[in-house]
Chain A
Amino acid sequence: MFGFKKSTADQNATAEQARPGFLARLRTKLNRGSSWLTKGLIDLLPGGKIGDEVLDELEMRLISADVGVETTERILSGLRKKVARSELADLDALLAALRASLIEILQPFARPLHIDTSKHPFVMLVIGVNGAGKTTTIGKLARRMLDQKFKVVLAAGDTFRAAAVEQLQVWGERNGVPVIAQATGADPAAVVFDACQSAQARGAHVMIADTAGRLHTQSNLMDELKKVKRVIGRIDPTAPHEVLLVLDASQGQNALQQARLFHQAMGVTGLVITKLDGTAKGGIVFSLADQLKLPIRFIGIGEGVEDFDVFDAENFVDALLKPVEA
């Protein structure tokens, strides 16, 4: 009755799938053309034997990539054991073991987002610290949903930062997506409540709510966020159906702390990791998967809509390990 029929074959749930071409882009962007992790390692193997020198170098490279001391130690201790048992004869064997261990860390958490179409609408709440890329992510997310023939409504829940509402509205206008907004300074819970009602009335499939950036240590602002969540629950007790935490990959180990505190307050159901196109190398992704055990939904590797896609563990690791084919 609300027009929930979709043109896609799967009526109940739609699994997000990585688009073709993204892997190639991922490789180019993540590596800047060569692998930071494996480049030149062969020079550290005089006589071709795996020794401490190459392992220490790997350790250093992992730490320099924000993998973090703990997770790096975990990866390295596995490799060291294998070396001690003489299981790794040459560099290829070492790299294969490294690949396996990296995939093992990521695989369980590479879980794409499922849009449950029985929800009217499927409510997504997007949260994160200041400057993580929430609003930009919402733009790209909405674009994907539109392409999948979902009807989308956005809620301008960042009522704090100057012109944040307008930033979302500009995007909404360009793409013909309704943006429910009130003035700067309005109660974000009220805006999101309105947007939920409006999304229902419009028969939207998906409602994505933006929120103001906040540091995870500001308890009053975290309380404000909890209120937004509670208020959504009044319209649909099962909502929000997805609490997406946006994390900036160029941030270091504090990203873990952010995720922990946001999760504690809000019950995060998925992560989006943005700005992987710096030279930050994406090591924080391993740290996050290893220590937080939250599903990683999407990654962003640039400003364009095509630079945003589903997170795939094998693709990601391969992009790190294998240089771009000439």
Chain B
Amino acid sequence: MFDKLTERLQGVVDGLRGKGRLTDDNIADTLRQVRMALLEADVALPVVKSLIESIKASLVGTEFDKAFTPGQILVRSIHQELVRVLGEGVRPINLRAQPPVVILLAGLQGAGKTTTAGKLAKYLKEKEKKRVLLASTDVYRPAAILQLERLAAQLEVGFKSSDPKQSPVRLAQEALAEARSALYDVLIIDTAGRLHIDDEMMKEVQLIASTVSPLETLFVVDSMAGQDAVNAAKAFGEALELTGVILTKADGDARGGAALSVRQVTGKPILFIGVGEKTEALEVFHPERIASRILGMGDVLSLVEDVSRQVDIRQAEKLAAKLKQGKEFDFNDLHEQLQQLEKMGGLSAMMDKLPAKLASKAAQGQMPNDREITRQIAIIRSMTSRERRFPKLLDASRKRRIAAGSGVPVSEINKLLKSFMEMQKMMKLMSNGGMGKLMRTFAGRMPKLF
């Protein structure tokens, strides 16, 4: 999401390199370029101004060690400033209160509140082992309540059904009563999307908040939001006692300036970011990583965290044990791995976290794309279980059958077979199993990349 800003800032830095020394003139010029880059990134103008001011303040009067290039000094200053602004007060979600803990989500139309409510419910259920009740107070958008109900059923968390003829405040009250009597740990209340300049609707959400006294009141904001995000955040911050922010749709290519703006205007920490279509695509917010990503250092740490959460540990151990016994890595194992990769939101979700340079290399076709993974899974599924265990069986006739079964040309099967052989060889080289080894297998799938 932050690639574009990264690109711009890299451009600025490249322009500086080799100049040797910062002069007043080229500071002004560089800062103007940074200003434009940030504005293009949808960072709100007042925020850009204050950011530029503090960067300037940190640059002027500083003696530069000649070991650094002016570009490095600049990057360091911007990075420090981004980390400072983004990271102030970042903390885990607060659940330390007598249950049921109430979490209220509010924001503009289309920010992604309902989807986020579902993702948050899944996160709290799986990571925090909480019993979660979802409730909707959106009586306006057709089928909004039903959307949350479907999500709740899919995630196997509690759902308080809401009658759209009731007032939203009443619905919130009923949900709280239900959460209390049924002994839920957490109640997540979804609200209707509203414009921050709609006084009546803002009063309504205020009333909901004062009725259920949430421990967390979270402002949900689209990472693609423009200059006005700053006004929306301000208005929601004034109407509600916000405790935090959730940034949604961060898996796109938005420059993500809204994150900076909202953070600075509300003064509240960004707790989570939404990074994909699937219900598990919600991540804890890491300011250092995002700031690093802005500067092109990539976000390899987030990637590691992803892999360790999603990869089924039992399966990993099974594979490790198997390899230990001297058995060969076979197509059943590859099948499992491909499926896990798919579960993590596919390669594109992982790619997003790699440093810009690696990612662009990968985009040039040195890596299988998500479609290829699906195709490879299809190929493996068209094999008999004997073939999966003993790939050497695959002769021309079998390959033709598999090709027909999975709807790909035989050449695709040969391609898969070839990379499978490489993987098998690598697996043999690994003496012991364990998570680290398994992860390297992913890396092994992209040999040119790492």
Chain A residues with CB under 8 Å of chain B are 32, 60, 63-66, 68-69, 129-133, 160-164, 166-167, 169-171, 184, 214-221, 223, 248-255, 257-258, 275, 277-281, 283-284
Contact = CB atoms under 8 A, between A and B. Distances in A.
B228 A278 contact: yes
Contact of B195 (A129, A219, A258, A277): A277
15 contacts: A60-B45, A163-B147, A164-B143, A166-B142, A218-B348, A219-B371, A220-B346, A220-B348, A250-B108, A251-B224, A252-B225, A252-B258, A253-B255, A275-B109, A283-B227
Interface residues of B, number: 53
B158 interface: no
Of B110, B147, B222, B346, most buried by chain A (CB within 10 Å of CB) is: B110
Interface in B240-260: 249, 251-255, 257-258
B39 A63 contact: yes
B371 A223 contact: yes
A164 B226 contact: no
Contact of B369 (A219, A251, A278, A284): A219
B348 A217 contact: yes
A167 B254 contact: no
Nearest to B44: A64
A251 B258 CA distance: 10
A255 B252 CA distance: 11
Contact of A279 (B42, B45, B228): B228
B12 to A, nearest CB: 14
A254 B42 contact: yes
A252 B227 contact: yes
B257 A162 contact: no
A66 B112 CA distance: 21
Contact of A129 (B229, B249, B369): B249
Nearest to B373: A220
A216 B227 CA distance: 21
A281 B39 contact: no
Contacts of B224: 129, 248, 251-252, 254-255, 258
Q: Is the interface of A mostly helix, strand, loop or mixed?
A: loop
A63 B226 CA distance: 10
B151 to A, nearest CB: 5
B249 A253 contact: no
A220 B44 CA distance: 32
Nearest to A184: B150
Contacts of A130: 110, 112, 115, 249
A-B complex: 4 closest residue pairs judged by Cβ atoms: A131-B110, A252-B226, A252-B42, A162-B150
A57 to B, nearest CB: 12
Nearest to A132: B110
B231 interface: yes
Contacts of A171: 142
Given A167-B141, A220-B346, A252-B257, A64 B227 contact: yes
Interface in B8-43: 36, 39-42
B57 interface: no
A160 B147 CA distance: 11
A216 B252 CA distance: 7
Nearest to A170: B142
Nearest to A173: B142
Contacts of B109: 131, 133, 275
Contacts of A278: 108, 195-197, 228, 231-232
Contact of A250 (B115, B148, B150, B226): B226
A257 B231 CA distance: 23
Contact of B277 (A160, A163, A254): A160
B370 A220 contact: yes
Of A221, A250, A254, most buried by chain B (CB within 10 Å of CB) is: A254
B183 interface: no
Of B148, B249, B251, most buried by chain A (CB within 10 Å of CB) is: B249
Nearest to B43: A252
A279 B148 CA distance: 29
A217 B252 contact: yes
B207 to A, nearest CB: 20
B143 A32 contact: no
A78 B117 CA distance: 48
B102 to A, nearest CB: 23
Contact of A253 (B42, B141, B222, B232): B42
A68 B42 CA distance: 9
Of A63, A170, A184, A255, most buried by chain B (CB within 10 Å of CB) is: A63
Contacts of B348: 217-220
Nearest to A261: B253
A162 B146 contact: yes
Of B115, B146, B253, B254, most buried by chain A (CB within 10 Å of CB) is: B254
A163 B257 contact: no
A169 B146 CA distance: 12
B211 interface: no
Given A217-B252, A254-B253, 6 more contacts: A129-B249, A131-B111, A166-B142, A257-B254, A277-B195, A278-B232
A170 to B, nearest CB: 4
A48 to B, nearest CB: 27
B81 to A, nearest CB: 20
B173 interface: no
Contacts of A283: 227
B310 interface: no
Given A63-B39, A218-B348, A220-B346, A167 B142 contact: yes
Contacts of B151: 162
Contacts of A250: 108, 222, 225-226, 228-229, 232
A205 B225 CA distance: 37
Nearest to B110: A131
B143 A166 contact: yes
B360 interface: no
B110 A248 contact: yes
B226 A66 contact: yes
A87 to B, nearest CB: 27
A280 to B, nearest CB: 4
B44 A251 contact: no
Given A162-B151, A170-B142, A253 B369 contact: no
A177 to B, nearest CB: 13
Nearest to A283: B227
Contacts of B371: 219-220, 223
B50 interface: no
B376 to A, nearest CB: 14
Contact of A251 (B112, B115, B226, B346): B226
A170 B140 CA distance: 12
A126 to B, nearest CB: 15
Of A131, A220, A252, A280, most buried by chain B (CB within 10 Å of CB) is: A252
Contact of B227 (A132, A164, A169, A280): A280
Contacts of B226: 66, 249-253, 255, 280, 284
